[in-house]
């Protein structure tokens, strides 16, 4: 098993997600969360059964696959076992380490907040489904062609349910001849056969409808969110698709929207940016599989564009925050080194030596290796074993701090 929190090896995002998906503990936890809400909320059951399609959702044929993958990724990153700093697509973004650390800390400290987002962010999709398919495709011939307004006033509920039922029957009949395929494979071959795309125009603003707003309130209450956090969540859900349009490229001025949201609602600008970046990471990057010639992949580009846009929008502000972060991190490392016996005084006692230039170099080498996740310099077998033990204690404290 790859444990990215304790070494400096970088791994591509697709491989990280594969590792997360292979973990039974994350899968069991996600399944328990989904089963709990299935037993409590008919709205949530309806959401899970709502169809989704390629090219942007190859996780599986329904939204349950998307929600499950998002939950697994949340639990993985909040566990401390997987670090954003070790994902190649992010590690190459020099100067962004502080932001990535902030996001990881947020996911770990406020797991309930982000779990609430995952459960609620797409809740309005179930009533806003509409279908489209290219001319002359099998899906078009089968009648899955609707106007973008088809989910609204010009199509009544009975017609809508009939179209959804026809789609589900078509998919079910198709799956009979593909019984050995995984959900992901089945989604791909069905899309390649029919080219039907599923849309949910305006679903993000659906959270303001009373039925969905009340669903959010029930989930937030169960998860123990304060009223202010529940209200913040509603705004984030209503705008969670904005970054997908705002950061198709690096656009510093697009950051103003999120700064304005923070100012109008009297929220911390930095906190709002990190929360939008965190939900973008979970939803559009880790929780969504895109179709590619070689199979499927996870697109990190919009997340990276968001980070770069923020950096270009306010470099002086970012520089000041980075200096503050480094100072806080230095204080944390010093405290942890003292607690586990890796500070200068403890190591002089351990080695039974006094201060000297040579010891100073050795101390720096040991501590720097531990901070960077590199191998500690070899000294002697019994000493090496003790240093390894203390380093493991350091890591345990660091990633639970």
Residue 332: the pLDDT is 86
Please check the confidence at residue 380 and state whether its pLDDT lies above 50. Answer: yes
pLDDT in tens, 299-325: 999 999 999 999 998 765 555 566 666
Mean pLDDT of 12-33: 97
Closest C-alpha among 368, 298, 299, 306 to residue 333? 368
Percent of the chain with pLDDT over 70: 92
Residue 46: the pLDDT is 95
| Strand 290-292 versus strand 295-297 pairing type | antiparallel
| Strand 130-132 versus strand 197-199 pairing type | antiparallel
Residue 359: the pLDDT is 86
Which contiguous run of DSSP H or E holds residue 316? helix 315-340
Q: How confident is the model at residue 70 (pLDDT cuts 50, 70, 90)?
A: very high
Q: Which residues contact 98 (CB under 8 A, 6 or more apart)?
A: 321, 322, 325, 326
Cα separation, 2 vs 18, in Å, equals 11
Q: Would you call 395 helix, strand, or coil by DSSP? A: helix
Residue 95: the pLDDT is 85
Please check the confidence at residue 52 and state whether its pLDDT lies above 90. Answer: yes
Cα separation, 158 vs 121, in Å, equals 25
Please check the confidence at residue 177 and state whether its pLDDT lies above 60. Answer: yes
> Do residues 41 and 275 touch, judged by C-beta distance below 8 A?
no
Q: Which residues contact 88 (CB under 8 A, 6 or more apart)?
A: 10, 11, 12, 13
> Do residues 57 and 129 touch, judged by C-beta distance below 8 A?
no
Q: How confident is the model at residue 293 (pLDDT cuts 50, 70, 90)?
A: confident
Mean pLDDT of 215-239: 97
pLDDT in tens, 266-278: 899 999 999 999 9
Mean pLDDT of 248-253: 96
Q: How confident is the model at residue 150 (pLDDT cuts 50, 70, 90)?
A: very low
Q: What is the pTM of this model?
A: 0.79
Average pLDDT, the chain: 90
Q: How confident is the model at residue 371 (pLDDT cuts 50, 70, 90)?
A: confident
pLDDT in tens, 99-136: 999 999 999 999 999 999 999 999 999 988 889 999 99
Please check the confidence at residue 262 and state whether its pLDDT lies above 80. Answer: yes
Please check the confidence at residue 1 and state whether its pLDDT lies above 60. Answer: no
Cα separation, 366 vs 374, in Å, equals 9
Cα separation, 293 vs 364, in Å, equals 48
Residue 401: the pLDDT is 56
Mean pLDDT of 283-291: 95
Please check the confidence at residue 159 and state whether its pLDDT lies above 90. Answer: no
Phi, psi torsion values for 96, nearest 5 degrees? -100, 5
Q: How confident is the model at residue 6 (pLDDT cuts 50, 70, 90)?
A: very low
Residue 94: the pLDDT is 87
Cα separation, 368 vs 356, in Å, equals 18
Residue 4: the pLDDT is 44
Mean pLDDT of 192-202: 93
Q: How confident is the model at residue 9 (pLDDT cuts 50, 70, 90)?
A: confident
Per domain, the residue ranges of the chain are 4-127+204-313, 130-199, 317-398
Residue 319: the pLDDT is 57
Q: How confident is the model at residue 161 (pLDDT cuts 50, 70, 90)?
A: confident
Residue spans of beta strands (DSSP E) within 193-294? 197-199, 290-292
């Amino acid at each position: 098993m790859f444990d990215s929190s304790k070494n400096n090896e970088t791994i591509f995002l697709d491989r990280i997600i594969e590792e997360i998906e292979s973990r039974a503990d994350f899968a069991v936890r996600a399944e328990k969360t989904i089963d709990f809400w299935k037993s409590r909320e008919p709205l949530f059951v309806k959401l899970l059964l709502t169809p989704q399609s390629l090219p942007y959702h190859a996780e599986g044929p329904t939204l349950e696959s998307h929600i499950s993958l998002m939950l697994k990724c949340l639990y993985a990153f909040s566990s401390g076992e997987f670090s954003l700093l070790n994902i190649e697509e992010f590690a190459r973004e020099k100067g962004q380490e502080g932001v990535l650390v902030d996001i990881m800390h947020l996911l770990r400290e406020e797991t309930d907040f982000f779990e609430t987002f995952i459960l609620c962010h797409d809740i309005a999709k179930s009533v806003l489904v509409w279908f489209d398919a290219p001319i002359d495709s099998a899906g078009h011939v089968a009648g899955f062609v609707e106007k973008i307004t088809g989910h609204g006033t010009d199509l009544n509920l009975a017609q809508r349910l009939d179209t959804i039922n026809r789609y589900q029957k078509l998919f079910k009949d198709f799956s009979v001849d593909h019984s050995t395929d995984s959900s992901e494979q089945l989604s791909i071959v069905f899309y390649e056969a029919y080219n039907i795309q599923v849309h949910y125009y305006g679903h993000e603003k659906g959270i303001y409808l009373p039925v969905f707003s009340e669903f959010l309130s029930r989930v937030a209450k169960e998860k123990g969110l304060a009223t202010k956090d529940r209200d913040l969540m509603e705004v984030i859900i209503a705008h969670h698709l904005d970054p997908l349009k705002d950061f198709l490229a690096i656009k510093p001025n697009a950051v103003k929207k999120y700064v304005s949201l923070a100012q109008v609602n009297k929220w911390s600008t930095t906190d709002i940016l990190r929360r939008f970046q965190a939900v973008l990471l979970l939803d559009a990057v880790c929780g969504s599989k895109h179709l590619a010639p070689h199979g499927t992949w996870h697109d990190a580009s919009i997340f990276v564009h968001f980070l770069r846009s923020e950096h270009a929008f306010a470099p002086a502000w970012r520089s000041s925050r980075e200096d503050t972060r480094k100072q806080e991190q230095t204080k944390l490392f010093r405290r942890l080194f003292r607690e586990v016996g890796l500070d200068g005084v403890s190591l002089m006692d351990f080695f039974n030596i006094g201060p000297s230039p040579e010891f100073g170099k050795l101390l720096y080498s040991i501590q720097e290796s531990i901070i960077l996740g590199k191998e500690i310099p070899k000294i002697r077998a019994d000493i090496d074993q003790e240093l390894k033990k203390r380093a493991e204690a350091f890591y345990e404290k660091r990633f639970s701090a």
